[in-house]
Structure 1
Amino acid sequence: MFRIRTTLAAVAVATVAAIAVAAPASAHDTIVSSTPAADSQLTTAPTEVVLTFSNNLISLDENSGTAMTVADESGEDWVAGEPTITADSVTVPLAEGMPNGAYTVTWQVVSSDGHPTSGEYSFSLAAPEAPAEPSATATESVAPDQSAEPSQTAESAEPAETASWPLLIGLGAVLLVAIVVFIVILVRRRR
């Protein structure tokens, strides 16, 4: 009986320690919205990229760990200035003259827990070519701005990525409980 209690106490301590170590890893801030939104197809070139996170970001004076690039298919970076952090958002201005094509936004910030976190997403630009002569039908055929609808895609895509941490922790806890039950059954059978 003493061995069973000792074993159960040791397993309980190990479980608490595993959960305590895993909890900070899942505490990193995540993107809740982005402009332009992930996987959006724009008809006009954006003037800036704004990422909004689940918590306020840490902003240090120099070498803060906050960085962002907006690269086209050839690898050219279109960021035209330093990132600006305001509470839970980071913004970078973009250069004019962005050509049509796919763009990859790569970012790194310092989470509210003090740890760096990073990621990337893509959007594309398909601006209509300027017609030789302006006409009323050309302005009517321009697609509406799609930033509102695709931002829901960015909101749902990021949390799914971060939702895997609690799932893994839960599965680990269930596995640990199963191992404890197995050990208890073995110990009882030997008696």
Structure 2
Amino acid sequence: MKIVLLSILAALFLYVPNAAAHTYLDTTNPEDGEVVTEPLQSIALTYAGKIEQGSIFKVIASNGEQVETSDITLVDGVLTGSFDNPLPNGDYTVQWNSISEDGHPLSGEFSFTVNAPETEVAVSEENVEQAEVEDSAQVDVPESEPVNVENDKNNTPLLIVGGMLLAIILISIIILLARKKTK
């Protein structure tokens, strides 16, 4: 009987479903594969847990050049990068590298396309100057609601450990019952 109780106790201590899971990228704005039809001046990565300072991302245009971010901030598991001017129309890839609260490195990438309407440029010199002033002004970007990115959590090790514990418990019960029959 002691073996059974010890086996059950060991199983309870070893089975910690989500506490053992690492932080992962939960959502992005824009989301992977999205076609953005409004001027885009910031990108946000939301994590399922806390991440550490030093977490970064870079934005790569389709021509391979890196787009400079003017500011990257980390607040409550949301890593946000902003740009001085809205991103021009085109395809972009975001490559991110983060550090989870427990020190494990995280990395990945996602892509999106910007296809925002372009402003008309007036022909007269006065209108050209006005357009240049307007282009240099920052544009408020309405925040769209983030959409879940497919979780890349892998529960296989947890299932293997659980199966092993179940087998140990069953074997312990069989051995205990066999000993009782022989006595």
Same fold (TM over 0.5): yes
AA matched with 2:67: W
TM-score relative to the length of structure 2: 0.61
User: Distance between the aligned counterparts of 2:144 and 2:116, measured in 1?
Assistant: 18
Aligned to 2:38: 44
Question: What is the CA–CA distance in structure 2 between the aligned matches of 1:102 and 1:182, rounded to whole Å?
Answer: 58
Match of 2:152 in 1: 161
- Cα root mean square deviation, aligned: 3.9
Which of 14, 17, 21 is equivalent to 1:26? 21
Residue segments in structure 2 that go unaligned for 5+ positions in a row? 123-140
Query: Residue 135 of structure 2 corresponds to which residue in structure 1?
Result: none
The count of corresponding residues between Structure 1 and Structure 2 is 163
Alignment of 1:70 onto 2:70: no
Conserved 8 A contact 1:47-1:93: yes
2:96 partner amino acid: W
1:178 to 163, 167, 173: 167
Q: Give, in angstroms, the shift of residue 147 of structure 1.
A: 6.1
Residue 115 of structure 2 corresponds to residue 120 of structure 1: no
Residue identity opposite 2:144 in structure 1: A
More strand by share: 2
More helix per residue: 1
1:91–1:67 CA distance, 2 compared to 1 (3 A):
same
Q: Give, in angstroms, the shift of residue 26 of structure 1.
A: 0.6
**Structure number, greater radius of gyration:** 2
> Counterparts in 2 of 1:54-69, with a 5 A limit?
54-59=48-53, 64=54, 66-69=55-58
Gap change, CA 1:70 and 1:27, over 3 Å in 2:
same
- Distance in 2 (CA, whole Å) between partners of 1:70 and 1:95 is 14
Structure 1 distance, partners of 2:120, 2:64, is: 29
**Distance apart, 1:121 and its partner CA:** 1.9
Q: Per the alignment, do residues 48 and 19 of structure 1 end up closer, same or farther by CA in structure 2, a change over 3 Å counting? A: same
Aligned-residue sequence identity (percent) comes to: 23
Deviations 1:28-84 (A, max 9, x none): 2x334322233221123411112223344333xxxx3x1111112232211323521
C-alpha contact 1:73 1:101 (8 A) present in aligned 2: yes
User: Matched residues in 2 for 1:187 and 1:36: separation?
Assistant: 59
- Cα 1:18–1:88 change in 2 (3 A) is same
- Distance in 2, matches of 1:56 and 1:9, equals 35
Q: Structure 1: where are the runs of 5+ without partners?
A: 134-144
Q: Using a 3 Å threshold, how does the CA distance of structure 1 residues 99 and 148 change in structure 2: closer, same or farther?
A: closer
TM-score scaled by structure 1?
0.59
